[in-house]
Amino acid sequence: MIAEETLLMLALGELSDAEADEADEHVLACGECAARLERLMAIGIGIRDLVRAGKTWVVLGPSMLERLEHDGLVSRTYRIRPGETVPCGVGTDDVYALTHLEADFTDVRRVDLVVRGTAMRVEDLPFDRARGEITFVERSDHVRTLPTSMIRFALVAVDATGDRTLGEYALSHTAYAP
Amino acid sequence: MDARESDAAEDAALARRVIATADTEAEEALCRRLFPRIRAYGRRHTRDDAIAADLAQHVLVVVLEALRAGKIDDVDRLASFVMGTCRNTLLDWRKSERRRLGLLERFGPSFTRAVEPVFFVDRRRLDKCLAHLAPREMSIVAMTFFAELEGEEISRELDMSLGSVRVARHRAMKQLHECMTEGA
């Protein structure tokens, strides 16, 4: 059996050409390793297909956003500054709703998103310090299930001293009407 | 003897039977064993299920042809021959299309019964498993498999070191693999 870590590196394209050749040859002679590699590759293909089908909530960097927009998967875009409320809705054919949350991330190491009025807290979101924003896409199939409501949330900087609110935001959502 | 050595020894024994007597049962058994391995190679190199399955069929045809013609000297190193054939096939795929179809017609019956269904992921289950990933890990796997970004690009976009990206990606893939095979 090849080491699990090596198989993962092979699946993720992290081995050098020579190492990959050696691992490929091993896989071609080992049914168990081939089965495991195939499962890993299938998971990767599955993730790609789910993202493409609009079935994920994910924080993005610029290249990923570019790709989603290029593929026509971003249906609506919201940009919210701290303290703002922005109206939002959803249509039948929408795939993803894109949201930019602006904030000042100077000296911030970790950011959590807290949904007000619920126990929901999403920890350690990737953020773009230079642009001063967190960008994420929400799946529209989920948005279509939401009632008309005000969705309030906050970005919170977390460090050893505790929480510090970076911004309060609100989306005034109108329920989907088919 | 580990799993690989045991598999290789069994492959070699079957290959010898094919060389000696063109034993169709041995051919079928060999195809059944090699098909998923070649498909795994194909998936890794093409990230496409259909092409990976086509590659497996094509390579098996070439392997059977070579065995029947006595062109493989060292059957104990069958995997090397298979790998070389995989690599060359992917390089020459378009040029060899006509020959591939002809060979499929000639040798097809030996492996058509050996073809296993592709391991398709249960999308609903994967959807649930993805929901348990940390946001940073979700971003990394989406950037890897959907946007097809290299580790260095991901590390730049998420303001993480390359090492941290790799650690998080490995953790995510192990978690997903466990989640997807739990109870299987």
Which residue of chain A comes nearest to B156, CA vs CA? Answer: A61
pLDDT digits (tens, 9 = 90+) for B122-176: 889 999 999 999 999 999 999 999 999 999 999 999 999 999 999 999 999 999 9
User: Do residues A102 and A80 touch, judged by C-beta distance below 8 A?
Assistant: yes
Q: Is B125 on the interface with A (CB under 8 A)?
A: no
Which strand (E) or helix (H) includes residue A173?
strand A162-173
User: Which of A6, A16, A43, A139 is most worth mutating to test chain B (most B CB atoms within 10 A of its CB)?
Assistant: A43
Set of chain B residues whose Cβ sits within 8 Å of the Cβ of A62: 157
| Residue that is written with structure tokens 């060979």 in the block | B103
In angstroms, the CA B100 to CA B54 distance is 10
Q: What are phi and psi of A91, to 5 degrees?
A: -110, 170
Tokens for B43, please give them. 């998936």
Structure pTM? 0.80
Q: How far apart are CA B156 and CA B150, in angstroms?
A: 10
Q: What SS3 class is residue A108?
A: coil
Residue A178 — very low, low, confident or very high, per pLDDT cuts 50/70/90?
confident
pLDDT of amino acid B181: 87
User: What sections of B113-160 are H helices per DSSP?
Assistant: 123-131, 135-145, 151-157
Number of Cβ within 10 Å of residue A170's Cβ equals 18
Query: What's the whole-number average pLDDT of chain A?
Result: 94
**From edge to edge, which strands make up the β-sheet containing A96-102?**
A58-59, A133-139, A96-102, A74-80
Q: What is the mean pLDDT of residues A121-129?
A: 95
> Which of B118, B31, B120 shows the shortest CA–CA distance to B67?
B31
B-contacting residues in A 89-148 (Cβ below 8 Å): 122-129
Please report the pLDDT score of residue B119 as a whole number.
Answer: 56
CB contact under 8 A, B159 and A126: yes
**In Å, what is the CA distance from A120 to each residue of A83, A169, B54?**
20, 15, 46
pLDDT band at B117 (very low <50, low <70, confident <90, very high): very low
The residue in chain A having the minimum alpha-carbon distance to the alpha carbon of residue B77 is A29
The pLDDT score that the predictor gives to residue B14 is 94
Considering only A64-68, B1-5, B20-24, which range has the smallest mean pLDDT? B1-5
Complex-level ipTM: 0.92
B116, pLDDT greater than 90: no
Kindly state the average pLDDT of the residues A18-30: 93
B143 interfaces chain A, CB cutoff of 8 Å: yes
- Please give the backbone phi and psi of residue A114, each rounded to the nearest 5 degrees, phi first: -115, 125
Nearest beta carbon to residue A25 from set B79, B126, B173: B79
Question: Shortest CA distance to B57 belongs to which of B97, B6, B21?
Answer: B97
User: Residue B91: its pLDDT value, please?
Assistant: 83
The pLDDT-based confidence of A2 (bands split at 50, 70, 90) is confident
Identify all chain A residues contacting B39, using CB atoms and an 8 Å cutoff: 34, 38
Q: Which band of pLDDT confidence, cut at 50, 70 and 90, is reported for residue B58? A: very high
Residue B136 vs residues A50, A71, A133, A150, B43: alpha-carbon distances, Å:
17, 23, 15, 27, 26
CB atoms under 10 Å from CB of B43, counted, come to 27
Residues of chain A contacting residue B29, judged by C-beta atoms under 8 Å apart: none
What letter represents residue A61's amino acid? G
pLDDT at B102: 60
- Average pLDDT of span A25-31: 93
pLDDT digits (tens, 9 = 90+) for A55-96: 999 999 999 999 999 999 999 999 999 999 999 999 999 999
pLDDT digits (tens, 9 = 90+) for B123-138: 899 999 999 999 999 9
d(CA A95, CA A97): 7
The predicted structure's pLDDT at residue B38: 95
Out of A164-168, B26-30, B107-111, B125-129, least confident range? B107-111
Determine whether the interchain pair B41/A48 forms a contact, defined as Cβ–Cβ distance below 8 Å.
no
Do residues A80 and A100 lie in contact, with contact meaning Cβ atoms separated by under 8 Å?
yes
Chain A residues in contact with B169 by the CB 8 A cut-off are: 12
Closest residue in B to A31 (Cα–Cα): B37
Between chains, do B44 and A30 touch, taking CB under 8 Å as contact? Answer: no
CB B49 within 8 A of CB B118: yes
Identify the weakest region by mean pLDDT among A24-28, A128-132, B47-51: B47-51
Provide the pLDDT confidence category of residue B109 given band limits of 50, 70 and 90. Answer: low
Q: Read out DSSP for B32-86?
A: HHHHHHHHHHHHHHH--HHHHHHHHHHHHHHHHHHHHTT--S-GGGHHHHHHHHH
The B residues from 15 to 74 touching A (CB cutoff 8 Å) are 33-34, 36-41, 43-44, 47, 49
Percentage of chain B lying above the pLDDT 70 cut: 83
In chain B, DSSP finds a helix count (H) and a strand count (E) of 9, 0
Q: What is the mean pLDDT of residues A157-175?
A: 95
H or E element in which residue A120 lies: none
Rounded mean pLDDT, A111-135: 95
CA distance A37 to A54: 26
